[in-house]
Structure 1
Amino acid sequence: MMTPEQIRLKQNPILTSLLLGLGQGTFIAERLFPRLPQVLSSVQLAQMGDERLRRYNLRRAPGAATKRVNIKYEGRTYTVDQYAVDVPIPRELLREADESRKLQVGNYLDISRIAMVTANEILALDYEAEVAQLATNPDSYASGHVLALSGGTKWSADTGTPVTDIRAAADTIRKKIGKRPNHLALSADALQAITLNKEVKSYLSNTQTGPATLEQLKTILNVAEIVVGDAVWIDDSDTGRDVWGNNAVLAYVPRIGGNGADISLAEPGFGFTNVIEGHPFAETPYYENGSKSWIYGATYERRPNIAYNGAAFLFTNTK
């Protein structure tokens, strides 16, 4: 029987190459557009009006009629789209994997797992890109809820004022929905710009020479959660690009439980993702004679939606 040393010296080049895969940055789509699980392909939800933010003459004399407020709501039907991908694994690779297991290789390579992880990562990246495209589109926001930075107003400039900008945007949101935003989503470029910004560093101790941390930013900006979208995609010219571009999104994100029961009709969230319960899910692998391969598939039925366009604020061209 071969020793582990001999096995390593005679590694199969096909299997070894699969160990050298590429990683992926942090996905933040669901942090900004939380999942709202549903059983059917379409569901009707009630989007409430602004009655709860208005003042009324509620004073009542004995015997007089009580003030009655009619609640307006728009019943909107939300549907999901289906996304699916197949990853074929040639039977020769599975044969080599079985052989490596027989030889008791310490780092036994599970080809099936690699196939399924690949399929799920592809679906996740596609979802991330769709949410990023929706969340960084100025048309997704209410009037006055987009700030395009340029020149000296960029957060990467010495004269840039991200603390002032974000606190002002938070007040704009508060006056529109009655709640302060609790999430700040930063692209990789926005993170670099804001953590090294002169105004931000003026809030830090004189003894700190490095950039501001995310925990420090939460305090400085009065935001409960800050997430960074590091995910990338590679275009047709093999150039890596940031999924979230050069943007930042300040938003109010409601807490939604696993069954959707924790969301209130009075929660004016910026957006959410309709998703079929249990998705994404792995298809049952099957053998395809033509390609002499096992086909591993995954399916994801979902659709991100904007709910209240006044519940968020977009900063573009931050760096």
Structure 2
Amino acid sequence: MTPPPFDRELADVLETLRALRPLLATLDDIPARRELNAAEHRTVEELAAAYPVYKVAEEYAGHVPLLVMRPEESAGVLYYVHGGGTIVGSHLGGDVPNLLAWAGELNLTIVSPGYRLAPEHPYPAPVEDCYDGLLWTVEHVAGPLVVGGVSAGGGLAAGTTLLARDRGGPAIAGQLLLCPMLDDRNDSPSAIDLDGLGLWDRTANNVGWIAYLGDRRGTEDVPAYAAAARATDLAGLPPTFLDVGTAETFRDEVVAYASRLWRAGGDAELHVWPGGFHGADSLVPEAAISRAARAARLTWLRRLLGQ
């Protein structure tokens, strides 16, 4: 099959980005990728200086560190899980500036968990860390609660939301799943057709899932809380926003998840951005398609929160 083309503005910078972020091939590549990502990490003090309209602190839910950024008047909370394939990244990392560039308009308190990373801490450690952080959040921050995340963080957000449903709480107003990593089987047409292309391909995706699940990856012994696409019942979930690019590995699994939410009677809004590659809106923020993606999220959140 012929893969879809990249958006013109995105294609112009893709090769430069690939040189800076080479595709993962094996588990042995993880240390180098972590070193690369570490350059994007900020201290709490640096974040406080960069965003003076927030009261910035690092709190703890047991052993789980939480970045907490409170505006002067909070209208609710966005519990946001960072990306990184479950193997790299930090709650103090590069997701924060991009997140605040669009979510900052809503006067939401941002809480971001520093979950433990695979392969040192495979399933269920990362998603249980996210759930523990969620429990802390509802105890310490008032207002409607939206659970969200990007890439692996989107997958962990979906798993955390399923845990909250099945454990009887806490109540979640909505889930915001941005190009989420949902299916360990990694065998959709988009995963196959786009292998070797973009910034996160099928091969890299296998590295992330193997680190997270080990020998369970791709078998029938994978719980829905590890890979939300495995859930047999999607009823009773909160309103959901999903977005993904046409030119990325996760396209078909995200579209399938949205379709299954609708079939279960759920409220879901899906955006499939033509020519978008994985993480494009944060990496090429000035592209027209990136601006449209952020605007769509804001519109959904405003409607959800009654702003």
Common fold by TM > 0.5: no
Specify which structure has the higher proportion of strand. 1
TM-score by length of 2: 0.25
Greater RCO structure (CA 8 Å; 6+ sep): 1
TM-score by length of 1: 0.24
Larger gyration radius, structure 1 or structure 2: 1
